[in-house]
Amino acid sequence: MELREGQVAVVTGAASGIGLAMARRFADEGLKVVLADVEEGALEKAAAELRGRGAQVLARAVDVSEGASVVALADAAYEAFGAVHVLCNNAGVGSGAEGRMWEHEPNDWKWAFAVNVWGVFHGIQAFVPRMIAGGEPGHVVNTSSADGGIAPLPTASVYAVTKAAVVTMTESLYAHLRAEGAELGASVLFPGPHMLRTGLWESHRNRPERYAKERPRKTPYRGLGQWESAMREAGHEIEFTPVEQVAEVVVDGIGADRFWMLPASEHSDRQIRARSQSMLDRANPSYLENFILD
């Protein structure tokens, strides 16, 4: 799909991090942008910034875990701009789970699935039929993670499971769009290849009461800065991928109709090979033995 001035892009989780970087990049291409986020203050700040850059912006507070909220977003987008050409289902949270998998609280699973999995499906259901009916070329980008789609991350099992679901959901979407003969492409995004400075580390700030923790945490939440300091003190070198680089991968991938939006990385390639080879060999997953589980 060729991105052109005047087209419309919808981005969830758009108030910060990867979502805001994508919105900025679409605006640079001359697209009108619809920003959706659950955090209203940050959302308005992001919208003001993009308007200051000359972009046409619609900002809506949206809880992607609620289907009606996403339908209302679609209604507002079509009322304001008459069409949607790019949909980025990007909103996501970390679960805040502690301990072994069997010790995780049900609400940790429920919240993460509500946003990371149901949020993507709600976006697909609210927008894709209208995008198909519009008859114009379009593209859907669903944000996954290397933790779930390339190499499972046992230290963040709830998050990894939800992101693995996003991969399969996007593969299914791709197949259904092809069967429909729709002029829509579909892609799964793996941000990286290194760590990213995003608000995911502080997801608990937006955790709704209906998914509240059922018991006090054994340890305080640790933000990115604290984690980074601890890793460096332990002698580990930490690399970060700029969110702007991720946005560039998205724009390039849409233009190339690329399903796997996966930045080139020998590290990622090794992980993919190790997992695939284990499956082909019917061997135990030795690649999981390198993780240190406290």
Catalytic residue among 78, 159, 211, 221: 159
Judged against a pLDDT cut of 80, whether residue 80 lies above it is answered with: yes
Judged against a pLDDT cut of 70, whether residue 113 lies above it is answered with: yes
127's enclosing H/E stretch is helix 118-134
Question: In the chain, what's the furthest Cα-to-Cα distance?
Answer: 56
CA pair distance 129, 87, nearest whole angstrom: 12
Give SS3 for 139.
strand
Judged against a pLDDT cut of 80, whether residue 169 lies above it is answered with: yes
Judged against a pLDDT cut of 90, whether residue 128 lies above it is answered with: yes
Give SS3 for 209.
helix
What's the confidence (pLDDT) of residue 224?
Answer: 57
CA pair distance 132, 30, nearest whole angstrom: 22
Q: Which of 187, 163, 175 is nearest to 249 (CA)?
A: 187
What's the confidence (pLDDT) of residue 286?
Answer: 87
Residue 160 near residue 147, CB atoms below 8 Å: yes
Confidence tier at 134 by pLDDT (50, 70, 90): very high
DSSP designation for 195: B
DSSP designation for 201: G
77's enclosing H/E stretch is helix 67-81
Judged against a pLDDT cut of 60, whether residue 236 lies above it is answered with: no
Sheet of 138-143: strand order equals 57-61, 32-37, 8-12, 86-89, 138-143, 184-189, 260-261
Confidence tier at 225 by pLDDT (50, 70, 90): low
Confidence tier at 204 by pLDDT (50, 70, 90): confident
What's the confidence (pLDDT) of residue 217?
Answer: 80
Averaged pLDDT score across all residues of the chain: 90
CA pair distance 205, 219, nearest whole angstrom: 16
221 noted as active-site residue: no
CA pair distance 182, 96, nearest whole angstrom: 39
Average pLDDT over residues 159-181: 97
Average pLDDT over residues 201-222: 82
Decide which of 288 and 201 is more confident.
Answer: 288
Judged against a pLDDT cut of 90, whether residue 2 lies above it is answered with: yes
**Percent of the chain beyond pLDDT 90?**
72
Average pLDDT over residues 226-247: 70
pTM value is 0.92
